[in-house]
Amino acid sequence: MAGAAKILVVGPMGVGKTTLIGTVSEIKPLSTEATMSQAGARLDTKVRPSKTTTTVALDFGRITLGGELVLYLFGTPGQQRFLPAWKDLARGALGALALVDTRDLEASFDAIGHLEDLDVPFSVAVNAFPDSKPHNEDDLRSALDLLPHTPLVICDAREHKSSVQALISLVSHLIETLTEAS
């Protein structure tokens, strides 16, 4: 598959979207990280009290897979109040990588639900945080209410190889989906 594809990287605040894009991007990533305001911190730091910045528009990076396929990565803001921007970013996307954190799976429900509502094909990458407990695939699929054909991988957004493998899993799924549709 040669060419270019717009790919979303979605998930709740603090799940590792900015980190993953920064880890894999072959260009200096564009990041709209901003220091949280007092009002935003009251709303957004209940789950991640140590978080002091947040994406307010998008993150952008680029990676070439196999020397032929360029992925343009668009990271979405994680907070519900940024959903209008999130929907704009979804326009024209070939697919999405939904990052989840097993320490708070419920926080990922909105992002996955939005992808389903927009009919955007996606795969799920569980970002393995150092203090997260391992879970088996069946339990994760059940907790996230994933369809059997939805790819589910474990990754570490801080590690290049691991993050690239998560993107390759998504691209493989997209190729299968496109092949089945034709």
pLDDT tens-digit profile, the chain (182 residues): 679 999 999 999 899 999 999 999 999 988 766 665 555 444 444 555 555 555 555 899 999 998 899 999 999 987 676 667 778 889 999 999 999 999 999 999 989 998 998 899 999 999 999 888 889 999 999 999 999 999 999 999 999 999 999 999 999 999 998 888 87
Domain that holds residue 116: 3-30+58-181
Report yes or no on 129 lying in a domain.
Answer: yes
32-71 as b/e: b if 16+ CB within 10 A: beeebeeeeeeebbeebeeeeebbbbbbbbbbeeeeebeb
Domain membership flag for residue 125: yes
Does residue 39 belong to any structural domain of this protein?
no
42 assigned to some structural domain:
no
What CATH number is given to the structural domain containing 96? 3.40.50.300
Q: Which pTM was predicted?
A: 0.85
What's the structural domain count of the chain? 1
* 40 domain-assigned: no
Q: 10 Å Cβ neighbour count for 139?
A: 11
Question: Is the residue at 160 inside a domain?
Answer: yes
Whole-angstrom distance, CA of residue 170 vs CA of residue 182: 19
Q: Does a structural domain hold residue 124?
A: yes
Contact 144, 108 (CB under 8 A): yes
CA 16/CA 128 separation, integer angstroms: 10
